[in-house]
């Protein structure tokens, strides 16, 4: 099992629902987080003083477990920036982190109660504001939590926002998302997020490395994604990705590999509308399928 799933909330009921709670999957689970405190754009105060000593200790243990296995598995850009989160002894204050991020790339982190609707998510990204869940998992969820919590969002996502190229990609993704909402193509864009921002690998002179937040915040999938012989690893291809379904309840069976963050950013430059039209005319691919045009690593 992956330790977290994440990204834009795939919940059609949540779109434009004010500050109605957003639940994971099809709404069988009760929402976590206090949506009554959120503003109309779904942001809220971090309420740092509400974290208990046990919360901070849980964050520290999660951080230290992941940090110990980054070498040789995480990309250098991530390793170089993870220290910007500050000492792992306490859950970071978002305000202080935002001060550093603004100076580096013009991004900031904002607190949200949990999953938020797609349009709210895209809108925040397009304004270089990264939504971070306020609450932390329970101790019994140390190895696995269904919804993204503060550890996944901070440790997994925030370090690469210090990288100028990746930071620009995230903003371009948000702007593309707002357009996709109008074109009813959000599923295609969700797949792009999934296979890049959450579960992306990058080819480096030293070998394959992880840059996706879902991998980097997962105790088991980090090593699995880079070293296991089980999954297939395919060259980045935006149309191929948009055709490909993904798994939310197990390790990925396919990872897509970029050559550089520049390649990722360049891929967002063209207008996606003709891409959506082409992809709509093609057969969907299963998460573990291979097609002849794939560049297999």
Give me the active site residues, please: 152, 157, 198, 217
Taking the complex as a whole, how short is the minimal distance between the CB of residue 7 and Fe ion, in angstroms? Answer: 5
Contact characters 82-121, Fe ion, x per CB under 5 A: ----------------------------------------
Taking the complex as a whole, how short is the minimal distance between the CB of residue 228 and Fe ion, in angstroms? Answer: 21
Taking the complex as a whole, how short is the minimal distance between the CB of residue 46 and Fe ion, in angstroms? Answer: 18
Contact characters 39-68, Fe ion, x per CB under 5 A: ------------------------------
Taking the complex as a whole, how short is the minimal distance between the CB of residue 154 and Fe ion, in angstroms? Answer: 10
Contact characters 155-194, Fe ion, x per CB under 5 A: ----------------------------------------
Among 22-30, 148-156, 237-245, 263-271, the segment contacting Fe ion (CB under 5 A) = 148-156
Q: Is residue 213 a contact residue for Fe ion (CB under 5 A)? A: yes
**Given candidates 6, 38, 115, 202, which one binds Fe ion under the rule CB under 5 A?**
6
* Cβ atoms of residues 113 and 150 within 8 Å: no
- Interface positions with Fe ion (CB under 5 A): 6, 148, 213
């Amino acid at each position: 099992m992956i330790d977290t799933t994440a990204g834009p909330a795939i919940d059609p009921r949540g779109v434009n629902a004010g500050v109605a709670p957003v639940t994971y999957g099809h709404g069988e689970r009760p929402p976590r987080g206090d949506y009554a405190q959120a503003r109309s754009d779904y942001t809220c105060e971090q309420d740092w003083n509400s974290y208990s000593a046990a919360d901070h200790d849980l964050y520290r243990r999660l951080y230290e477990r992941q940090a110990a296995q980054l070498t040789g598995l995480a990309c250098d850009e991530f390793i170089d920036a993870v220290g910007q989160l500050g000492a792992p002894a306490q859950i970071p204050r978002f305000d202080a982190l935002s001060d550093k991020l603004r100076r580096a790339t013009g991004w900031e982190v904002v607190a949200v109660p949990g999953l938020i609707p797609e349009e709210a998510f895209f809108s925040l990204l397009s304004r270089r504001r990264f939504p971070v869940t306020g609450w932390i998992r329970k101790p019994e969820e140390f190895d696995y939590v269904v919804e993204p919590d503060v550890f996944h969002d901070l440790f997994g996502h925030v370090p690469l926002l210090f990288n100028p190229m990746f930071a620009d990609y995230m903003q371009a993704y948000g702007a593309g998302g707002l357009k996709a909402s109008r074109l009813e193509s959000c599923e295609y864009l969700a797949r792009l997020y999934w296979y890049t921002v959450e579960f992306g690998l990058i080819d480096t002179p030293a070998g394959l490395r992880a840059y996706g937040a879902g991998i980097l915040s997962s105790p088991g999938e980090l090593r699995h994604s880079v070293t296991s012989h089980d999954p297939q690893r395919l060259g980045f291809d935006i149309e191929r990705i948009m055709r490909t379904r993904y798994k939310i309840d197990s390790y990925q069976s396919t990872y897509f590999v970029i050559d550089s963050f520049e390649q990722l950013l360049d891929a967002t430059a063209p207008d996606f509308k003709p891409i959506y039209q082409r992809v709509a005319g093609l057969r969907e691919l299963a998460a573990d399928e291979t097609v002849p045009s794939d560049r297999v690593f």
